[in-house]
Amino acid sequence: MRRLEDDLEKVLLTEEELAIRVRELGAQITEDYRGRDLVLIGILRGALMFLSDLTRAISLPHAFDLVGASSYHGGTASKGFVRISKDVDMNLEGRDALIIEDIYDTGRTFSVIRDLVRVHNPRSIELCAILRKEVPSRTVELDVKYIGFDIPNEFVVGYGLDYEERYRNLRMVGVLKPEIYAKK
Ligand code: IMP
Ligand code: MG
């Protein structure tokens, strides 16, 4: 039987490496937000796995909500605009919002979602991404407070990240074999 991971050319981050780093981030956030009113805001759909691990790695009472955004619309290159498909549901007035993203690439998604969250009048807004791509020049340079890993400028899948909505359920982060794209 063909396994999902057989489509990978290489593994960049193993399940264990991701789990260790998420626990570290959770511990750091727990320290930083003691006595605050933390609300995690996960960006659908890519941040789902990271959000569900991170919320359980934070040992403070806190809430989470979800917003919907997409910029890729299939393929492996950003199309240059961000579509919002779901707003925040929770009342954020005076609370401490922490936006949770799968990957900080061009920065467009973070920037659009931060503007959206700002409209809800939180007391503070910070950004958190499990991955940051090392791109030569970023469209929007942002101060991302929490970063899991820096990765090379390659298209990756797994741990929530997709290629045409597949591979999100891979437990590791990796690069697909070139023939997977060639099949298109
Ligand atoms: P940005 O708006 O360019 O920073 O990109 C953020 C969004 O693009 C992420 O939420 C992902 O959905 C998608 N994305 C960026 N790089 C990759 C990648 O290497 N693999 C899969 N999706 C990616
Ligand atoms: Mg995506």
Mean pLDDT by 10 residues, the chain (184 residues): 92 98 98 98 98 98 96 66 94 98 96 97 98 92 97 97 96 96 74
DSSP three-state, residue 98: strand
Q: Classify residue 53: in a domain, yes or no.
A: yes
Structure tokens at 72: 């890729």
Q: Classify residue 139: in a domain, yes or no.
A: yes
Q: Classify residue 33: in a domain, yes or no.
A: yes
Q: Classify residue 160: in a domain, yes or no.
A: no
**Are residues 103 and 135 in contact, defined by beta-carbon separation less than 8 angstroms?**
no
Give the C-alpha separation, 76 to 163, whole Å.
7
DSSP structural state of residue 6: G
Q: Classify residue 109: in a domain, yes or no.
A: yes
Give the C-alpha separation, 30 to 48, whole Å.
20
Picking from 64, 63, 70, 52, the residue whose alpha carbon sits closest to that of residue 112 is: 70
Q: What pLDDT does 181 receive?
A: 83
Nearest Cα residue to atom 19 of ligand 1: 155
Q: What pLDDT does 41 receive?
A: 98
Q: Classify residue 47: in a domain, yes or no.
A: yes
Q: Classify residue 163: in a domain, yes or no.
A: no
Q: Classify residue 12: in a domain, yes or no.
A: no
Q: What pLDDT does 81 receive?
A: 83
* 65 in active site: no
* Placement of tokens 């910070």 in the chain: 126
Picking from 46, 23, 22, 15, the residue whose alpha carbon sits closest to that of residue 157 is: 46
Q: What pLDDT does 9 receive?
A: 97
Q: What is the CATH number of the domain that holds 98?
A: 3.40.50.2020
9: amino acid identity, one letter: E
Question: 155 in ligand 1 pocket by Cβ < 6 Å?
Answer: yes
Domain that holds residue 127: 21-152
Question: Ligand 2 being an ion, which residues bring their Cβ within 5 A of it?
Answer: 46, 72
CA of 35 to the centre of ligand 2 (A): 34
Strands, E assignment, 14-166:
38-44, 63-70, 83-86, 96-104, 124-133, 146-151
Question: In the chain, how many domains are there?
Answer: 1
